Structure 1
Amino acid sequence: MRVLVTGATGAQGGAIARSLLARGHRVRALGRRPGDPAAARLIELGAEIVHGTLDEPRSVARAAAGVDAVFVAGAPIEGGADAEVRHGLIVAEAVKAAGGAHLVYTSVASADRGTGIPHFEAKAAVERTIAALGVPCTILGPVYLMESLLAPASLHALRRGVHAVPLPESCPLQQLATDDMARFAALVIERRRDFLGHRIELASDELTGAQATAALSRVAGREIRYAEVPLAEVRARSEDLAAMFRWLARGGHDVDLAALHAAYPEIGWRRFEDWAREHLAGALTRAVA
């Protein structure tokens, strides 16, 4: 199949592009900078890079022409709610103009529950736009990503032996490995008829802060302690993020992991500790003062 992947040089888009290429599909990646090292790696794997951005409707329309499916990840929180909605409309209109292409949009779990969290509400608005345009689509709703621990501040704290999260230590948190999401998105694209018109929420594992810290300690081979980051510190950086962590602390996502994993065992859902061994083992064993 021919698939356009937007944001293919980012974490989510890159994971889906690599997953599709590994499964023998033809990937066209929309890239802002043709010389980007991430784009170069995708070219080595067989992807076609098309220059353009989600702010340029014509470039998106050109990229979407002739493809069987379009994968678009919701914008990161730093992009802002207005950009999220604008980009969603541009992609949805391009897919509709392409005629018959299957749009796979990565929103966020619980976006349809009226949480009041700004970036959740922006993604909900994109979902409504897609529905209003009548575009053949599947909506994926990921929960909190395990890859959040790869952010520089989180990595620095872990190297100092601290797992710092703006949630109480006893609070359960559902999490998703990006590779699991990529495999699921590839499955959706390959089995279009089974998933058209569906909204599916995705989660790999669920554990409390104490359980996650114990897992990180086992991976590190040394003690990692938990530290609850004051919500005021988060609010000073982003009211949007603070609203999300307030909501997560009150219960947050409620994906039925057992049912999801039983329905789609081929994904090989990742446990948090296994993900940490793959992505964090090196960083955790290099302690800093």
Structure 2
Amino acid sequence: MSEQMTVLVTGATGTQGGAVARELLAHGHNVRALTRRVDSDAARAIADRGAALVEGDFDDPTSLQSAASGVDAAFVMGTPFETDTENETRQSIAVIDAARAAGVPHLVYTSVASALDETGIPHFESKARVERHLRTVDPSATVIAPAAFLGDLASPWYLPGLRSGQYAFALPADVPLQQVTVADLGAFGRLAIEERERFAGARVEIASVTATGAEVAGKLSGWLDREIQYVEIPLDAVREQMGDDGLAMVEWFRAGGYTVDVPALHGAYPEIKWHDLDDWIRGHDLSGLRPERGSES
């Protein structure tokens, strides 16, 4: 194990920050979980794993600087989906500036793959603005840029469809998309934090798999021992569910999407133990979706 570190993690009560926080804790590091609500269920859950909760307000630089004081590294992430892209940019920059003012020696920011490619997708462009600011104030910082996330199959987004024998996604069945598991993002974040010199100034785009919706449905059919049909979500429904930002992203996916060199990435970082589709599915308890023995004639 690497030398024990103390790491400030923003978003530790969410998906990305939570994955990094759990990885760090599992490898013996100390985690300060920055949250606005230390009494929330998500905050208590990460505290139960050993994280120290620190209350901070993105609009209060003093509280952010206090949270960052004395840590060895900071993992910074932002999301536009709780507010909007302008607030995401402002809040992420506020954390970066507070960490710099507190003298944090290593900043790791999680962006999105292709954020610097002028896609025009609002939440890609907001992260690009944060990246440009980060490079101005700290050229040695590390940027991790994940592709789309392979979601939680047990979540309300997927589970009802799987129960009815369907896997729904917003692309035609034969259009591939580069995607990353939350576990791989967590492991990569922890590696980048532990190996500061190796990742100084680096920007690494990451993906676990390249797969079509039909391939995912086929894998699910095999795992569940029942037919899972792929269903393409129409663009009108995408706009209704995800707004114009999400629609712009999906249209970009349909036009080609991310360009991560997945084989080269996995070869360069074999210690991540990258997950494939089978690993991703195996990580969910889907036993209740399998047909009972003797139920089929």
Cα separation, 2, equivalents of 1:120 and 1:151: 25
Worse-matched range after superposition: 230-239 or 49-58? 49-58
Corresponding position of 2:88: 84
Give the Å deviation of 1:177. Answer: 0.6
Q: What aligned pairs does 1:1-289 form with structure 2 within 5 A after superposition?
A: 1-134=5-138, 136-147=140-151, 149=153, 151-237=155-241, 238-279=243-284, 281-282=286-287, 284-285=289-290
* 1:54–1:136 CA distance, 2 compared to 1 (3 A): farther
List alignment gaps of at least 5 residues for structure 1.
Answer: none
Give the Å deviation of 1:150. Answer: 5.0
Cα separation, 1, equivalents of 2:142 and 2:96: 12
Q: Is the 8 A contact 1:60 1:94 kept in 2?
A: yes
Q: Is the 8 A contact 1:155 1:283 kept in 2?
A: no
Partner-residue secondary structure (3-state), 2:53 = strand
Q: CA RMSD in A?
A: 1.7
Give the Å deviation of 1:173. Answer: 0.9
Worse-matched range after superposition: 73-82 or 172-181? 73-82
Partner-residue secondary structure (3-state), 1:197 = coil
* 1:135–1:173 CA distance, 2 compared to 1 (3 A): same
Give the Å deviation of 1:55. Answer: 3.5
Give the Å deviation of 1:41. Answer: 2.6
Tell me the TM-score normalized by structure 1. 0.94
Q: Is the 8 A contact 2:80 2:87 kept in 1?
A: no
Q: Which amino acid is 2:270 matched to?
A: P
Give the Å deviation of 1:129. Answer: 1.1
Tell me the TM-score normalized by structure 2. 0.92
* 1:224–1:256 CA distance, 2 compared to 1 (3 A): same
Partner-residue secondary structure (3-state), 1:233 = helix
The sequence identity of aligned pairs, in percent, is 48
Partner-residue secondary structure (3-state), 2:8 = strand
Cα separation, 2, equivalents of 1:198 and 1:205: 22
Q: Is the 8 A contact 1:92 1:135 kept in 2?
A: no
* 1:281–1:7 CA distance, 2 compared to 1 (3 A): same
Partner-residue secondary structure (3-state), 1:120 = helix
Q: Which amino acid is 1:199 matched to?
A: R
Cα separation, 2, equivalents of 1:224 and 1:160: 8
Partner-residue secondary structure (3-state), 1:174 = strand
Cα separation, 2, equivalents of 1:23 and 1:213: 34
List alignment gaps of at least 5 residues for structure 2.
Answer: 293-297
Higher helix share: 1
